[in-house]
């Protein structure tokens, strides 16, 4: 299927793909997310997905496709699992960096808060549900706030899976792969998720993604 809701912060035109710059300095999120975490997470992990994708595309007839088209065309295609995994991880990470802000966290205002109240009964309920999703994703994956038909929902996805293949518009995500938090929080994923919600989440970016 075609991806309905393009997000130009995460999508990129075509091969060869580039590692996007972080939308903040690597020490701007300290002490909540360290420059060391970002140097590995952005500089090594995200960079590796970009490099792997470019290497796989060197021998592929999909070179002219945009990142979102690649994700959509290779989803559930057993012959192209490598391209899907790396393309989706490039998209997910490019989107994730914008979900973080040096002045982030806490309770949003305005339209995004109204929609959260409508969809989850209260901001506190939203936080509870988002934290539950992020902490109960078994192994590697992502927790997402999504929009479809003017309603918000929360889902978790495993590994590289991304809900944009299911017709949802991504509003916000939290990377819950161990590489996202292990250097700062070791095995304490719940503390990382609390820090994401209380100190880091970029509600202005989330609101800018609403349809
Ligand atoms: Fe990651």
**Residues bordering ligand 1, an ion, CB closer than 5 Å:** 175, 177, 180
pLDDT, the chain, mean: 95
User: Ligand 1 center to residue 118 CA distance, Å?
Assistant: 30
Would you kindly state where each structural domain of the chain is located, as residue ranges?
35-98, 110-208
Q: Which CATH class is domain 35-98?
A: mainly alpha
Per DSSP, what are the bridge partners of residue 170?
146
**Cα–ligand 1 centroid distance for 93 (angstroms):** 6
How far does residue 121's CA lie from ligand 1's centre (Å)? 30
CA 30 to each of CA 102, 188, 199: distance values in angstroms, whole numbers, following the listed order: 8, 18, 10
pLDDT greater than 80 at residue 104: yes
pTM of the model: 0.96
Which residue in 165, 154, 145, 148 sits closest to 211, CA to CA?
148
Q: What is the pLDDT of residue 3?
A: 63
Write out pLDDT tens, residues 184-205: 999 999 999 999 999 999 999 9
Centre of ligand 1 from the C-alpha of residue 179, in Å: 6
CATH architecture type of domain 110-208: 3-Layer(bab) Sandwich (3.55)
């Amino acid at each position: 299927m075609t991806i309905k809701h393009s997000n130009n912060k995460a999508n990129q035109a075509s091969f060869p793909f580039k590692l996007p710059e972080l939308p903040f300095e690597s020490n701007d999120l300290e002490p909540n997310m360290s420059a060391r975490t970002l140097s590995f997470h952005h500089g090594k992990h995200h960079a590796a997905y970009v490099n792997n994708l470019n290497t796989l595309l060197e021998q592929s007839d999909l070179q002219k496709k945009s990142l979102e088209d690649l994700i959509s065309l290779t989803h559930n295609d057993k012959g192209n699992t490598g391209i899907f995994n790396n393309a989706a991880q490039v998209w997910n990470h490019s989107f994730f960096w914008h979900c973080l802000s040096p002045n982030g966290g806490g309770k949003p205002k305005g339209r995004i808060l109204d929609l959260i109240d409508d969809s989850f009964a209260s901001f506190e309920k939203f936080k509870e549900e988002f934290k539950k999703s992020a902490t109960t994703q078994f192994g590697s994956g992502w927790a997402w706030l999504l929009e479809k038909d003017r309603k918000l929902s929360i889902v978790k996805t495993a590994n590289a899976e991304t809900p944009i293949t299911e017709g949802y518009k991504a509003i916000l995500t939290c990377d819950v792969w161990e590489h996202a938090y292990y250097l700062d929080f070791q095995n304490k994923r719940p503390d990382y998720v609390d820090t994401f919600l209380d100190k880091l989440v970029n509600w202005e970016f989330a609101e800018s993604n609403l349809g």
